[in-house]
Chain A
Amino acid sequence: MEEERHFELTKNGKIFILFGSLFVIIGLAIDTLLLIVPGVLFLVVITSTFISFIFSHTYSFNTKMSCSKDFMRSRGLLAVAVELTNPSRRTILTKISLRFSFHFKSIDKPETILIKLLPQKKTKIVWLLLASRRGNGEIGPIEISVGSFQYLFKHKRILKDTQQIKILPQRPRINIPWKTKKELLLKMVHEFAQRVKGRGDEFFALRDYLPGDQLKHIDWYATARHDKLISREFEDQRNLHFLIYLDLSSTMFGPKFEYALSSVVELCSLIKGTNHDLAVVAYSENVQKYIIPQVGKHELRLMLNLYDIEATGVHSSFLNAVKFTKNNNVLHSIAIIFSDLEGDLVKKLQGIHLLQTMGSRVIFVNFATMHFNILSSQDWMLDRTEDMNYGEILQDVFPSIVSDEYRKREIELRQLLYSIRGDYVDVFGYDDNIILSLFRLMKKYSPTQRLVQEAMRRAS
């Protein structure tokens, strides 16, 4: 790494040299220890900086800096690790400061830290940074102050290693009140449900009066218009059966799984508030856990059961999970799958097919790996590879291969889902909310939107 060395007597230092000599000279001239003592002290302090420079100007440090991400969103967090090695045989007390552009702010720790570097040992410091502004941020250089009294005598090593980090604008923060969430869910459910006539409050259609219909159901305006008795029909109030599949395979492991699980818990607790039924199937190769929520005071148990789930499987087979629901006659009208595009896609497609034949509406929620994992940084992967040549090749080629593969898989899955009236939802990182994503999806299918789309199609 390129190193720049700064040795400079600052303006303050020069002033204090003059001050010291002035104090001493005046003190000696007028016989006053009152001025001689502080004057001597100034000179001592200044001299100490020179001495420390003579002793420490040969020090050099091996430094390595790495950032956890190359691009991020505003209000996102970034970890910067700095590894310092002290190759000399002396313990060095240094002040280390990480310089970064105005886009970042350090969390819980000032950017300047005073530490002791033990001889021939590695010291690692990790800074957590908050991206407070969007734009092209820059991390680095690292400044190492050697020796004391930097205000009088600047003695610094500047390690000119900088890293560019792109900070995209922040996603709008999702902070939906509980009540609104519930309303959204109810609307969504209403949209998804197949409407069946029967006893209920919601109006369904008008039809001719048949003997036996209640008098209060006769629509008198319609009767007057058509000159015959016409009665109203109502929609049946039916409970929907939500079935949530949660993938426990190794590809979901890590922060992504935690987020998926928290999304499941959020959705479950919302659905519990309505009069719809709910079941959760957590599967890896086989079904690991099947949770039917309890009523009333046992509701808490559902939550606790959910939080027990851990991503333990290596591979996952969605087909086996669907077979389980089929064999056990689990009722379901809306199946929501929390998974990703990794692993065996064919089994997922087969499972979705099977679900569709059982007459359920399928929503596939993809927790996009590239947006969730810290693995998305190339540095992180490179550290693990020992062969550098291979690493370089990996750095150039791997990301594009991965993203191409993901795109291909997504297209395949979308084609199948749309052919069976299913839906596909992407969750991009922690800023996305599952309820909001589902609601956005629902809006796409709402009657008004559909009319608009049809009109557009006709116009084109």
Chain B
Amino acid sequence: MRIRDKVFEEDWELTSLTALGSTFIAGAHHLFGALAVSLIIIQSAFSLNIYIFAIWLVLGVVILMTDFFKGTQMKLSSEVTFGLFFIFGTILSLLLANPNSMFFPATLGRVDIIIYQSLAGLCIGLRFLSTFYYMEYLEQDHPFVKTRSKYTREQVQQYKDNLIKTDFEYISPEGIKTLQKWIVLFRRMLWPFMLLIIFAALAALYALMIFYLIPEDSLAEYIIRPSLILVAIIYSVLLIRTNAILPKIVDVDTQDNRQQEKNSDTEATEDGIENIS
């Protein structure tokens, strides 16, 4: 370590924001992942399906271990791998399912299995939601410095005092509370939820219409589900097309930052030479 760096570290402490809810959210994130897996494991235990039990036990251990090793650091890319894991596990257990397990295609009508499925799905959804929330409000990527030595503490205090009654009077605006953040999050999702419900209702209406016109189970099976699938495909295409229509500007900032980092390195060496001379 260079001497001047050491001097700097004696005076200033490099920190990043640790919000009160961050560890809680990270914990909840891990918990929901584990809960989803354990729900499946419990169901497969009840249904006496040793294959699914074994598969999800292994997957659960892998997911838990990766989560715990990452600690409070959350990334969207790791969530994507988690999602792919889940799809993979689902397809694998679909092949090995018995009539009692939740992965058997013909058991949709049973209430207990619907509850298990929707609960596990909700857990996965909440896990993803907690990641979004964390990325949005609690990410710890905003470093700043704190005073460490008495000298710097006095320096900063003195500077703040000198700025009183000027345009630069030091003000720290009130932050937003955790509860309020959650409220905002859900309020922002209210509209899209309604929109989606309207979409789904229209699809269901269409399907029901066909169901009453052709009161044959097999035909409904062939029409309801494909129509919903079509809605999902059309909707995602719609979203992507909407994005293509919107005006957007190419982000140049990242390149600048990279260049700045290079500059800082050269600057540092220049400084060092000057100090020695």
- Interface residue ranges, A against B (CB under 8 Å): 4-9, 12-26, 28-48, 50-53, 66, 68, 77, 79-81, 93, 99, 101-102, 105-116, 123-126, 128, 130, 132-135, 147-152, 154, 169, 173, 175, 254-255, 258, 374, 379-380, 383, 430
Q: How many A-B residue pairs have CB under 8 A?
A: 251
A29 touches B229 (CB 8 A): yes
Give Cα A7 to B167, complex, Å: 33
Would A24 and B172 be within 8 Å (CB), given that A38-B121, A102-B261 are in contact?
Answer: no
B195 touches A6 (CB 8 A): no
Interface core residue of A8, A38, A79, A150 (most chain B CB under 10 Å):
A38
Does B144 touch A at the CB level, under 8 Å? yes
Looking at the complex, which one of A14, A114, A126 makes contact with B170 (CB distance below 8 Å)?
Answer: A126
At the interface, is chain A mostly helix, strand, loop or mixed? mixed
B167 touches A35 (CB 8 A): no
Would A254 and B136 be within 8 Å (CB), given that A45-B129, A107-B144 are in contact?
Answer: no
B260 touches A101 (CB 8 A): yes
Chain B contacts with A in 183-214, Cβ cutoff 8 A = 184-185, 188-189, 191-193, 195-196
B145 touches A151 (CB 8 A): no
Residues of B within 8 A of A47 (CB): 192, 195-196, 239
Give Cα A22 to B232, complex, Å: 9
Chain B contacts with A in 134-189, Cβ cutoff 8 A = 135-137, 142-147, 151, 155-156, 158-160, 162-163, 166-176, 184-185, 188-189
Give 22 CB contacts A-B under 8 Å.
A19-B83, A24-B229, A26-B87, A26-B91, A30-B105, A37-B121, A37-B125, A44-B189, A46-B239, A51-B191, A51-B192, A52-B188, A108-B172, A109-B144, A109-B172, A116-B176, A134-B267, A135-B267, A151-B76, A374-B168, A383-B167, A430-B155
Give Cα A154 to B135, complex, Å: 13
6 additional A-B pairs beyond A14-B243, A25-B229, A105-B144, beta carbons within 8 Å, are A26-B91, A31-B107, A41-B129, A43-B232, A110-B144, A115-B176
Q: Which residue of A lies closest to B191 (CB)?
A: A51
How many residues of B are counted as interface, with CB atoms below 8 angstroms from the partner's CB atoms?
A: 93
Would A15 and B248 be within 8 Å (CB), given that A110-B142, A125-B173 are in contact?
Answer: no
Would A374 and B233 be within 8 Å (CB), given that A7-B247, A34-B121 are in contact?
Answer: no
Give Cα A109 to B144, complex, Å: 6
Give Cα A8 to B175, complex, Å: 27
Distance (whole angstroms) from the CB of B171 to the closest CB of chain A: 5
A45 touches B189 (CB 8 A): yes
Q: Which residue of A lies closest to B249 (CB)?
A: A6
Does B61 touch A at the CB level, under 8 Å? no
Looking at the complex, which one of A110, A149, A152 makes contact with B143 (CB distance below 8 Å)?
Answer: A110
Give Cα A255 to B162, complex, Å: 6
Residues of A within 8 A of B129 (CB): 41, 45
Distance (whole angstroms) from the CB of A131 to the closest CB of chain B: 11
A43 touches B264 (CB 8 A): no
Q: Which residue of A lies closest to B233 (CB)?
A: A21
A32 touches B103 (CB 8 A): yes
Does B57 touch A at the CB level, under 8 Å? no
Does B217 touch A at the CB level, under 8 Å? no
Looking at the complex, which one of B132, B169, B228, B271 makes contact with A126 (CB distance below 8 Å)?
Answer: B169
B12 touches A5 (CB 8 A): no
Distance (whole angstroms) from the CB of B134 to the closest CB of chain A: 10
Residues of A within 8 A of B191 (CB): 48, 51
B12 touches A105 (CB 8 A): yes
Does B48 touch A at the CB level, under 8 Å? no
Give Cα A31 to B239, complex, Å: 25
Q: Flag B88-111 by CB within 8 Å of A: 1 or 0 each.
A: 001100100000001101111000
Binds A, one of B23-31, B62-70, B112-120: B112-120
Does B273 touch A at the CB level, under 8 Å? no
Looking at the complex, which one of A5, A34, A130, A149 makes contact with B136 (CB distance below 8 Å)?
Answer: A149
Looking at the complex, which one of A99, A111, A124, A380 makes contact with B171 (CB distance below 8 Å)?
Answer: A124
Residues of A within 8 A of B251 (CB): 6, 8, 154
A77 touches B195 (CB 8 A): no
A34 touches B90 (CB 8 A): yes
Residues of A within 8 A of B118 (CB): 33-34, 37
Q: Which residue of A lies closest to B240 (CB)?
A: A17
Q: Flag B215-244 by CB within 8 Å of A: 1 or 0 each.
A: 000000000010011001101100110110
Residues of B within 8 A of A374 (CB): 162-163, 166, 168
A79 touches B125 (CB 8 A): no
A150 touches B136 (CB 8 A): yes
Residues of A within 8 A of B260 (CB): 101-102
Looking at the complex, which one of A37, A68, A108 makes contact with B146 (CB distance below 8 Å)?
Answer: A108
Distance (whole angstroms) from the CB of B273 to the closest CB of chain A: 12
